[in-house]
Amino acid sequence: MSRPRGSSGSWRARQERDPYVQRARREGWRSRAVFKLEEILTKEKLLKPGMLCVDLGAAPGGWSQYVSARNTGKVRIVAVDLLPMDSLPDVEFVQGDFTEPDVLEQMLASLNGEKADLVMSDMAPNISGTKAVDQPRSMYLTELALDMARQVLRRGGSFVCKMFQGEGSDAFILDARRSFGRVKVMKPAASRASSSEVYLVARNYQL
């Protein structure tokens, strides 16, 4: 989870007051981001038994944890992140930058030749607090996630990706529409109202 530099005290205080942080702790989830994914997957009905899922920017593992918990023993997840992540049922974790050839090779080997039903990305850059710097960084990550989705999704598969509204976001949505039958933008209740954070939800991937 990224946060503005030089504001760790106020960030921690806000986290302690956050009802979603408190709820995540009570229910044993690894992050408050679980509730964003829960709303998206519930409304869009994207979970199904036997699915193969790819989780980009997975650490600390909240999204993988949620999918695994909802489909216990009936899902396979390949999770990737630069940071380490504690193990989870049904999850194979690959640590590293998936844009690096050796990490990508390891990730694709974990898929074992299968195509994914769902690719999800909660990736975000380390926030500097300067929009002119942060927005291009965030859009670069969304573009990487979309490229990966196009590489590993099966026909008819789905893609869920965090993005920040601003320069480049409209073009990104148009680009996604070239590959998916239906694309929408959602702002889950757990996303802070003051944030430009939204989620692109794309369904029915067209090879």
Query: Is 2 among the domain residues?
Result: no
Query: Is 17 among the domain residues?
Result: no
In this predicted structure, the answer to whether residue 103 has a pLDDT above a threshold of 60 is yes
Residue range 55-81, pLDDT digits in tens: 999 999 999 999 999 998 899 999 999
Cα dihedral sign for 205, 80, 61, 32?
negative
Q: What residues contact residue 73 under an 8 Å CB cut-off, 6+ apart?
A: 89, 90
Query: Is 15 among the domain residues?
Result: no
Residues acting as catalytic residues: 162
Determine the pLDDT at residue 194: 85
- Counting beta carbons within 10 angstroms of the beta carbon of residue 113, is it exposed (0 to 12), middle (13 to 18) or buried (19 or more)? exposed
Q: Give the residue from 50, 104, 41 showing the smallest Cα distance to 77.
A: 50
Work out how many domains the chain is built from and give that number. 1
Determine the pLDDT at residue 131: 83
Binding residues for S-adenosyl-L-methionine: 61, 63, 81, 97, 122
Query: Is 150 among the domain residues?
Result: yes
Residue range 172-201, pLDDT digits in tens: 999 999 999 999 999 999 998 888 999 999
Structural domain for 174, as ranges: 33-205
Determine the pLDDT at residue 207: 75
CATH number at residue 124: 3.40.50.150
Query: Is 28 among the domain residues?
Result: no
Query: Is 27 among the domain residues?
Result: no
Cα dihedral sign for 27, 157, 91, 173?
negative
Query: Is 157 among the domain residues?
Result: yes
Q: How confident is the model at residue 2 (pLDDT cuts 50, 70, 90)?
A: very low
Determine the pLDDT at residue 8: 58
Residue range 108-145, pLDDT digits in tens: 999 999 999 999 999 988 877 788 788 889 999 999 99
What mean pLDDT, rounded, does the chain reach?
A: 91
Determine the pLDDT at residue 13: 66
Q: What percent of the chain has pLDDT over 70?
A: 92
Query: Is 177 among the domain residues?
Result: yes
Binding residues: 61, 63, 81, 97, 122
